[in-house]
Amino acid sequence: MRSRNTRRKSTMAKASNAFAAAMLFALAWSLPVRAQSIQSTPSASPLYKEFVDEAGRTVRVPQPVLRIISLAPSLTETIYALGLQDRLIADTDFCDFPADAQKKTKVGGGLNPSLEQIVALKPDLVLLAKSFNRIETLHALETLGIPAYGTEPHTVQQIISSTERLAGVLGAPEAGSALSADLQRRLSDLQQHLNGFPPRRVLFVVWSDPLISIGRDTFIADALKHAGASSIVDSAQDWPQMSLEEVVRLQPDFLVFAGSHAEAGQNDIEVLAERPGWRGLDAVRNRHFAMISDAVNRPAPRIVSAIEDLARQLHPEAFVPLPDDEKEKKAPPTAEPQLSTVALESHAADTAQMEACACAP
């Protein structure tokens, strides 16, 4: 009887020890797992973020974006303008500005980039422009599982907003906001100079033989407006071919040319001026030519510099420094803000009238 009780006590002790061991074993697993979940969840950053590009496509972009391939010169320029050139691992044969962009690995042209080379470079994101790249390239990248973001600005303001949006996609929103603010300020300052001056009627010459110009819905036509000009060509086509007879009939005030090298462009203008038919233009006889950089041909931040340059050539009188007495006449009275503050404290109605006058253009 005593031995049976002893065996029972021994069995219960073993069971108790086994239960305690099991509890300790479970506790040993549960504590690290619980600690790991508490530590990792709040600090975990997303592997991807979703963005809607300018073609309306939802793009899953890996985070952070450290390896970028640009398939358009305008996008290469934009990356440099944002100060993100160290992330640019490759671009196209046509990406020539700034000079450092020419040192980047090349993946071919905009129409026929090497997909094999793009895959081998393992980019986080490939950037495309609808005006420079084919839709087939975009579809091929999608098939290969490579994130691709497309841009499609049609106006100067859209170029600026597109730049700021792209900065956010690339993880540099502060740089995008600063660049956007600077471009907007420069355009605003330019308009202050051009206020009161009628726009010059111009012919923007894309190609002289055959004569190709720009349509009314292009970003170049919009850039002309910001420079105090209007195109004589009213066409729904982006790159309409013009007859010289029609241009002679319309008689533009200026002919506008864009080129990478000013000297070569000037020589081309002189040759053009000697051709039959062109001499029938008053702008040719009066040497009313404007030569600007090819930045105007690219929907990138540098287009604002081209706009400023063109405005100075078309409206030099708008940028003549004013004599000191004229500056004093144009400058607002320095005491006006103080007077309006005093009036605000004692005469609310008068204040409203004074503030309305002070804000009038």
Domains of the chain: 49-152 (3.40.50.1980), 197-319 (3.40.50.1980), 326-355 (no CATH)
Scored b (16 or more CB within 10 A) or e, 36-62 reads eeeeeeeeeeeeebebebbeeeebebe
DSSP-assigned beta bridge partners for residue 91 = 106
Scored b (16 or more CB within 10 A) or e, 70-98 reads bbbbbbbbbbbbbebeebbbbbbebbebe
Question: Tokens 């040719």 map to which residue?
Answer: 284
List, for residues 251-283, the tens digit of each pLDDT value.
999 999 998 545 555 667 778 778 888 989 999
Between vectors from CA 64 to CA 61 and to CA 68, what angle results, nearest 5°?
70
d(CA 303, CA 63): 30
* Spatial CB neighbours of 212, under 8 Å, sequence gap ≥ 6: 205, 206, 239, 240, 241, 242
DSSP-assigned beta bridge partners for residue 70 = 127
List, for residues 60-106, the tens digit of each pLDDT value.
999 999 999 999 999 999 999 999 999 999 999 999 999 999 999 99
> pTM of whole model > 0.85?
no
DSSP class of 69:
E
Alpha helices in 62-106 (DSSP H): 73-81
List, for residues 8-49, the tens digit of each pLDDT value.
444 444 444 444 444 433 333 333 332 233 333 444 567 999
